[in-house]
Structure 1
């Protein structure tokens, strides 16, 4: 068991989640690491989600289950709003979706992975997921990424799902350099960007610690399979990533002081490359050392770079 100052604020974003929410809450209650508080931010549910949350608050107590009203502006804004709330306190924060099932050792495993990181250094744990169907039956795994986590990767790719992540206080502080009202493309990508950009510790766990439910109501589904990888490649070449990168670059520009020296140089090359013509663009991107985690992803990256779609 992990000891010391290890209180985890679990940030649970909910919206019309009655169907699977109880399973997720029960899996949190069953954690081997027991020093936690659930902060549930509901984004305007019209089903019985709030009633279910109130039932669990009565069962767990108001000190272990805190309810918030979300901004009703999408999942990423909901998670970012919780990071900014003064009433959300903890040595670590963990993001939670409303329809997953956590393994009992999920928090303990993540805390052990970050235990040796000094508190003044940003740290992020994330990893693979076990894919489960509507009934909770496993049927596969999310992609295994073999290349090392880094800012050069984070500039063009998110590494792990937010539902797998645990961050220390310093990482949370860095994420909050983006205002609560800012356009953050995805909270998990932003976490990877700021922690790797500040020279922090990023731990990628190859062993899944949760069941990631796949169903028709998923806002963002799994990245597993050749079809999903080809769709991501099409998104990149089609220009969708350029729009996302525009938002990321704007936010990172406002916190260049928090970036390490090497990371600041990479960021500057990336930003300049996006704003110039073909040959200098490719030179700047090469200097930034950009890479994605798969061969298909890197093929799409090269094509998008040549077409000016980054």
Structure 2
């Protein structure tokens, strides 16, 4: 790890001497809160990116550890034109990310969400941008990927679930397929996110982005190749849901009503952009909302009509159970 940091430090010191080619600009939207144990690894992985035209916008949500000091140290090395430090709204990680999405002073062609404790693979940005067609800049577009799971020391311990079904609004209504830490969106997708009411309660900004882009006829790319190391530790706000224990835990919580609460909050957020949905998805949303208020037989009929699905067999079984118990 020490050799890695030394190499990263050398890269940092020479970064300003590397000319930035005229390519699409990427705003890396980094949210921090008491992240000093792993933040340097995350920042170093930005510096090692083979794609160079980026600027980091770090929104700190009131850290009381050395997070701000670390950010300031890297800012002094990179320059304020490569790393901008902002104050977060202190209303949770979802609101913090949306504060960056809504910040009018942040201008770029693409926007990459980042956690504070992951390690990006060197080709993450290059791969993300190459996956989105630059000729369709007016179409909301979102890239996301699988992740490699690592422990608190950075040792690989597995992978996030592999999904093979086509990303779609029918899936997004009942499932979020990838973490925000893997996501890259274009300006058209950002504008959709900016339309969401500031009063809406955000379950997770990654799920919100997936709902908006897929619902409004946008382009969603799910890459089966991992693009980062997703660190698993006690400080994770949302885990990877990769092992059986976590899946059983989430299934139990679903039966206690957590999924239903999440769905209600997602629908509240969608209410802000209903008129931007495609015609088919607008009707699908109406049927979905009506199904949640209906009796058992009508609920199943309407849910079948919407075509909602999850990515795995286990997921679809749990979905059927949720529909049966009116917990969706």
Question: Given the superposition, is the C-alpha separation of residues 200 and 117 from structure 1 closer, same or farther in structure 2, using an over 3 Å criterion?
Answer: farther
1:162-221 CA-to-partner distances (Å, cap 9, x unmatched) read 000000000111111113443111000000000000111110000001000011111111
State the Cα distance separating 1:231 from its structure 2 match: 2.3
Residues 21 and 53 of structure 2 are in contact (CA less than 8 Å); yes or no, is this contact kept in structure 1? no
Q: 1:101 is matched with which residue? A: 119
Moved more, 135-144 or 180-189: 180-189
Residues 291 and 298 of structure 1 are in contact (CA less than 8 Å); yes or no, is this contact kept in structure 2? yes
CA radius of gyration, larger in: 2
State the Cα distance separating 1:227 from its structure 2 match: 2.0
State the Cα distance separating 1:117 from its structure 2 match: 5.1
Secondary structure of 1:38's partner? strand
Q: 1:178 is matched with which residue? A: 196
Within the candidate set 147, 154, 167, 2:172 is matched to 154
Q: 2:160 is matched with which residue? A: 142
Q: 2:26 is matched with which residue? A: 8
State the Cα distance separating 1:3 from its structure 2 match: 7.4
Residues 153 and 292 of structure 1 are in contact (CA less than 8 Å); yes or no, is this contact kept in structure 2? yes
Question: Given the superposition, is the C-alpha separation of residues 266 and 86 from structure 1 closer, same or farther in structure 2, using an over 3 Å criterion?
Answer: same
Q: 2:274 is matched with which residue? A: 256
Indicate yes or no: 2:220 matched with 1:202: yes
Question: Given the superposition, is the C-alpha separation of residues 117 and 192 from structure 1 closer, same or farther in structure 2, using an over 3 Å criterion?
Answer: farther
Q: Structure 2: how far apart are the matches of 1:72 and 1:6?
A: 31
Q: 1:19 is matched with which residue? A: 37
Q: Structure 2: how far apart are the matches of 1:241 and 1:54?
A: 40
Indicate yes or no: 2:104 matched with 1:86: yes
Q: Structure 1: how far apart are the matches of 2:281 and 2:108?
A: 28
Q: 1:291 is matched with which residue? A: 309
Moved more, 272-281 or 101-110: 272-281
Indicate yes or no: 2:60 matched with 1:76: no
Residues 96 and 163 of structure 1 are in contact (CA less than 8 Å); yes or no, is this contact kept in structure 2? yes
Moved more, 276-285 or 79-88: 276-285
Q: Structure 2: how far apart are the matches of 1:24 and 1:305?
A: 40
Q: Structure 1: how far apart are the matches of 2:169 and 2:152?
A: 35
State the Cα distance separating 1:241 from its structure 2 match: 0.8
Q: 1:127 is matched with which residue? A: 145
Count of equivalent residues: 309
State the Cα distance separating 1:235 from its structure 2 match: 2.4
Question: Given the superposition, is the C-alpha separation of residues 117 and 76 from structure 1 closer, same or farther in structure 2, using an over 3 Å criterion?
Answer: farther
Residues 197 and 272 of structure 2 are in contact (CA less than 8 Å); yes or no, is this contact kept in structure 1? no
Q: 2:10 is matched with which residue? A: none
1:213-242 CA-to-partner distances (Å, cap 9, x unmatched) read 011111111111222222222222221011
Residues 200 and 268 of structure 2 are in contact (CA less than 8 Å); yes or no, is this contact kept in structure 1? no
Residues 117 and 123 of structure 1 are in contact (CA less than 8 Å); yes or no, is this contact kept in structure 2? no
Secondary structure of 1:126's partner? strand
State the Cα distance separating 1:4 from its structure 2 match: 5.9
Secondary structure of 1:139's partner? strand
Indicate yes or no: 2:228 matched with 1:228: no
User: Which ranges of 4 or more aligned residues in structure 1 deviate by more than 4 Å?
Assistant: 2-5
Q: Structure 2: how far apart are the matches of 1:95 and 1:156?
A: 22
With normalisation by structure 2, the TM-score equals 0.91
Moved more, 103-112 or 226-235: 226-235
